[in-house]
Structure 1
């Protein structure tokens, strides 16, 4: 993860997978700074890919009715509500005392006459110090003193499979159900998956899940059927704010770096990119994000690592140990008297 500067060219995992004639690597750039939490991406994904519904559950605390990426939620719009103390009211600046002036001559008070009722405030709220029986306050969220008030910020993010450059799920799949496409994405072939579940703990992001009553693994395919026909993935097509952007990965990374720079110039110092760096623990992601806070706030690992990185070394050590044991056995049996 970096701040968007010094980007390197994206790796080409499709070439490593043996695709000789291949298009540019395609991917997602999700700009969370413009996500409005409408969930159009979730609905479009379910409709196009025929993903089963999983009921309505607000989790008791949020508008987030999915909670996480699952076998039945290939896109998950996270809602993070951040409480922030209200800004302190600046102390008034001392002003010089006014110069004394002669008191005006008293004039008789005018006779009180009945007048029209007080007009409502401009926003439709009644004027005056009392609103709905609450002395000294106005409509909730519209007026009232700042003392003791807490302001909130909504962080919204449409999460998805990262389509890692070095995908551990591919390394552990024993049937070849998971494969690397010519676009550099990772797809599960459900008709080959045997439900072993090895890919689930192998994913450093916790993306892959088994469907209850089915047993097979399911996740985002980056709409492999659509992009193969030259179409945009359903989620990106449906996003009304272009928070989800689809295209060649190198172009998306350049665009993302420019977006981060623009936000920094606008004073959004917390803006940063996540998952676009080829030097990270998974070789960079095919789906990366612009975040407005630390990755942990969004439920993302701060330093993801391909979980099978040590497998070659482990196999070499296991092979060496087996050879050593075999040699010891040969020496032991060869030295026995006949």
Structure 2
């Protein structure tokens, strides 16, 4: 018995010695990969046709489960929002009656009306000039009173990411491509990042591992020099991928082109450094105000609230101390 126990202890010590180099490698700091140019998305909503090819490609490549179909009653969209298993989401925003009817006695249908060219709805066909010439720049959907706004939403990969600021374990990092990435082996599922994100992007997988998940900008594809799956699958080039500097120049050019054609409501969202004090690496060209697309006009960083909250706590503590001293003196 003693010999057998001695052999077992020797064998366990031998196995421990063999595993010691592997354990030591975990403590060694690896050389980080060399920095690359910042990569991101430019999503042009004026080209989106709502085909949802980006959604399907994202789910197929990242092996995400399909969302249970649910009729929302508000649009043809059954996904409804971004989530832990939906990293691309195409919004369907229906706008009806944007035009102000002629005549002072008729009410305004919408506060933000769009001036439209006067095109006759019907003319008799017995004249040669019955069909009017269409003025330039009157193609759908820009100059129609009723329209669908399509918007392929995704993680914004913020330069100063609120989710990263709120993460207590350091699970959320910026990669060498300056994209925001969640390390699943470090995430503890606390959910602080969920409430910190002003765009409602990141979410916990309550039906699965309980950890936070979001778009990785196809980090595994980037390592092999490939486009993200959603940009590869987009049939209209509404989702453009590349270096952020190049995409911003393209976005400005596209905006000027649309405004020259009379689309005065077109605007860029997140292409400058104003939003979150650094801008977004996944930015958009919108055909209406950001709030219409469920995008906050002025999102806040959690770090901006640290100083005011700390000062408020200190002042409250001082007041409580002074009140306690006052009451003790009275007693």
Fold conserved between structures, TM > 0.5? yes
Aligned-pair CA distance for 1:311: 2.5
Aligned-pair CA distance for 1:19: 6.5
Residues 309-332 of structure 1 show CA distances to partners (whole Å, capped at 9, x for unaligned) of: 232665688799999x9xxxxxx9
State the alpha-carbon separation in 2 of the partners of residues 310 and 60 from structure 1.
38
Q: Structure 1 residues 85, 169: closer, same or farther in 2, change over 3 A?
A: closer
Contact 2:193 2:202 in 1 (8 A): yes
Q: TM-score, normalised by structure 1?
A: 0.68
Aligned-pair CA distance for 1:153: 0.4
Is 1:173 the counterpart of 2:167 in the alignment? yes
| Bigger mean CA deviation after superposition, 213-222 or 257-266 | 213-222
Tell me the residue number matched to 2:207.
Answer: 213
- Mark the runs of 5 or more structure 1 residues left unpaired by the alignment: 1-17, 91-149, 326-331, 333-338
Q: Structure 1 residues 19, 302: closer, same or farther in 2, change over 3 A?
A: farther
Residues 194-252 of structure 1 show CA distances to partners (whole Å, capped at 9, x for unaligned) of: 11101011111111111122311111011111112111000000000000000000000
Aligned-pair CA distance for 1:166: 0.9
Contact 1:273 1:291 in 2 (8 A): yes
Contact 1:263 1:271 in 2 (8 A): yes
Root-mean-square deviation (CA, aligned residues, Å) is: 2.9
Tell me the residue number matched to 2:218.
Answer: 223
Identify the match of residue 38 of structure 1 among 51, 70, 81: 51
Contact 1:84 1:151 in 2 (8 A): yes
- Structure with the higher fraction of residues in helix conformation: 2
Contact 1:204 1:307 in 2 (8 A): no
Q: Structure 1 residues 164, 232: closer, same or farther in 2, change over 3 A?
A: same
Identify the match of residue 302 of structure 1 among 290, 297, 302: 297
Tell me the residue number matched to 1:122.
Answer: none
Contact 1:28 1:246 in 2 (8 A): yes
Matched residue count: 251
Is 1:249 the counterpart of 2:244 in the alignment? yes
Aligned-pair CA distance for 1:308: 2.4
State the alpha-carbon separation in 1 of the partners of residues 85 and 147 from structure 2.
29
Aligned-pair CA distance for 1:20: 8.0
User: The residue matched to 1:246 in structure 2 has which SS?
Assistant: strand
Tell me the residue number matched to 1:134.
Answer: none
Identify the match of residue 203 of structure 1 among 189, 197, 201: 197
State the alpha-carbon separation in 2 of the partners of residues 162 and 310 from structure 1.
21
The structure with higher relative contact order (CA 8 Å, sep 6+) is: 1
Q: How does 1:90-129 map to 2 (within 5 A)?
A: none
State the alpha-carbon separation in 2 of the partners of residues 281 and 174 from structure 1.
20
Q: Structure 1 residues 312, 171: closer, same or farther in 2, change over 3 A?
A: farther
- Mark the runs of 5 or more structure 2 residues left unpaired by the alignment: 1-30, 104-143, 326-331
Identify the match of residue 62 of structure 1 among 75, 94, 97: 75
Q: Structure 1 residues 315, 229: closer, same or farther in 2, change over 3 A?
A: farther
State the alpha-carbon separation in 1 of the partners of residues 295 and 78 from structure 2.
19
Tell me the residue number matched to 1:161.
Answer: 155
Identify the match of residue 276 of structure 1 among 266, 271, 275: 271
Contact 1:202 1:308 in 2 (8 A): no
Contact 1:282 1:305 in 2 (8 A): no
User: The residue matched to 1:310 in structure 2 has which SS?
Assistant: helix
User: The residue matched to 1:201 in structure 2 has which SS?
Assistant: helix
User: The residue matched to 1:34 in structure 2 has which SS?
Assistant: coil
Identify the match of residue 178 of structure 2 among 157, 177, 184: 184
State the alpha-carbon separation in 2 of the partners of residues 202 and 190 from structure 1.
18
Contact 1:77 1:158 in 2 (8 A): yes
Q: Structure 1 residues 309, 19: closer, same or farther in 2, change over 3 A?
A: farther
